[in-house]
Amino acid sequence: MAPDSFNSFPLRNARVHEVFGPSAFGFAAIVAAQMAGDFMWVREAWRGDILHPVGLATICGPEKLLAAQTANQTDSLAVAEEALKDGALSLVVIEITRPLDLREGRRLQLAAKAGNTVGLCLIPEGMGSNAAETRWRATPVFDAEREGSTLMRWEIIKNKSGTVGAWDVRWDRENRRLHVVSPPVQRAGSQDMAG
């Protein structure tokens, strides 16, 4: 697949998308960096993994971030729905810990539509919801050529309005842009490394 067909990104507006894999945080940060307005990160307070704002600063400004700490997933979803519906934010990231049922997924989707906001669920692997517009797997790839690289493989494994595919991307820290490196078919060596 040619790099110019990387048309599922930036994510489609007014929809809820899903991402999983080890680089899901990086994916979410890059999505936020490409949006103009503020964004909200909804997480359950008990989780040990936290977003490190200093690390985030290389991708997007932490001053755009509002973090909401909730007690459980029900609260998370309620907060996310409220934030999506309001439209004051451009992106709402939700950390999901148990699978969404159809009703919850659909409600988020409707809220995103009402507020014209992008929703992004960080899901554990295999816990996708049927209502999601796209589902991505983001995995880091070892870059033999550059030191301190941010080479990642982004695979789109579900797409309601387009085709699936896989791309190797790298975040350019200096210019704050995303580079699509080369089609993975030409990099057969890296494919089994990523597995």
Q: Which residues bind another protein (CB under 8 A)?
A: 22-23, 25-26, 29-30, 38, 45, 48-59, 61-71, 75, 78-79, 82-83, 86-89, 139-144, 147-150, 152, 171, 193-194
Q: How far is the CB of 91 from another protein (least distance, A)?
A: 13
Nearer to another protein among residue 103 and residue 189 (C-beta): 189
Instruction: Give 22 or 162: the residue with its C-beta nearer to another protein.
Output: 22
Provide, rounded to whole angstroms, the least separation between the CB of residue 64 and another protein: 8
* 73-86 vs 102-115: helix crossing angle, rounded to 10: 30
Give min distance, CB of 162 to another protein, in A.
25
Q: Which is nearer to another protein, 62 or 183 (CB)?
A: 62
Q: What is the DSSP letter of 179?
A: E
Distances (CA, A) of 159 to 7, 133, 134, 172, 175: 12, 6, 4, 26, 29
Residue 59 CB, nearest approach to another protein (Å):
6
**Minimum CB distance to another protein, residue 12 (Å):** 23
Contacts of 32 (CB under 8 A, 6+ apart): 39, 59, 60, 64, 65, 91, 93
Which CB sits closer to another protein, 162 or 172? 172
User: 102 or 144: whose CB is closer to another protein?
Assistant: 144
CB neighbour burial string for 101-119, b if at least 16 within 10 angstroms, e if fewer: eeebbebbbebbbebebbb
Parallel/antiparallel/unpaired status of strands 91-95 and 39-44: parallel
